[in-house]
Amino acid sequence: MLCFLRGMAFIPFLLVTWSSAAFIISYVVAVLSGHVNPFLPYISDTGTTPPESGIFGFMINFSAFLGAATMYTRYKIVEKQNQTSYFSTPVFNLVSLVLGLVGCIGMGIVANFQELAVPVVHDGGALLAFVCGVVYTLLQSIVSYKSCPQWNSLSTCRIRMAISAVSSAAVIPMIACASLISITKLEWNPKEKDYVYHVVSAICEWTVAFGFIFYFLTFIYDFQSVTLRISTEINGDV
């Protein structure tokens, strides 16, 4: 049986494939429609103008849902592991879940409030998604190290921490350069004064976004041994 069909592994697998498709499809449609420059647009630029805005909004909304489902399942896995063999305070795991869910809400805001229509709301949602997402990966990397070697291999811990470190290093210049750009626009000319800020910020944004994707890819193995049971109880007289 394929690894992503075992247990609950299909959840992070679907999150990774769906989110990757959301970024790629929106980018391709936006470029072919002539709405953005093929060279390093912001991710949000590829979901601003119809028809790609509808594709982007729908797919990112579902990605936010899958992200929340993945994070909650991961929370329950760590909770059960910690009960079996204590390695970390439960508050640590809970805080990472809350931050992760806030990041998913930020994704929903990004998907539903277009960059040019309501830039303040859109940028606020993006800030929540990226900052909370990066902190979530850092906290979960620490949890992975604490549960090593019983629940995670050292190589998995190192991969997760490396992705977290790269994402953390990228998110700072992403925010700094984006804040220095004086105007929100889709078309950029290399001769414009803010062009360098745009390029640096866009590179960092794509780096962080795909950092999240590769990070959740490492959850697939952990989710293979997890099963979901739904029980129904009826109380009282019928």
What's residue 4's pLDDT? 61
Q: Evaluate whether 111 touches 64 at the Cβ level (below 8 Å).
A: yes
DSSP H or E run through 178: helix 154-180
What's residue 226's pLDDT? 81
Whether the predicted model's global pTM rises above the 0.85 cut: yes
The model's pLDDT over 153-207, given as tens digits with 9 standing for 90+, comes to 999 999 999 999 999 999 999 999 999 988 878 888 888 888 999 999 999 999 9
What is the average pLDDT across 57-83?
A: 94
All residues at 6 or more sequence positions from 117 whose CB lies less than 8 Å from its CB, including other chains: none
What is the average pLDDT across 214-225?
A: 93
The model's pLDDT over 77-134, given as tens digits with 9 standing for 90+, comes to 999 988 888 888 888 899 999 999 999 999 999 999 988 888 899 999 999 999 999 9
User: Is the confidence at residue 1, as pLDDT, over 80?
Assistant: no
Q: Evaluate whether 47 touches 24 at the Cβ level (below 8 Å).
A: no
d(CA 15, CA 162): 20
Selected residue with higher pLDDT from 186 and 75: 75
d(CA 84, CA 87): 9
All residues at 6 or more sequence positions from 65 whose CB lies less than 8 Å from its CB, including other chains: 104
What is the average pLDDT across 56-77?
A: 95
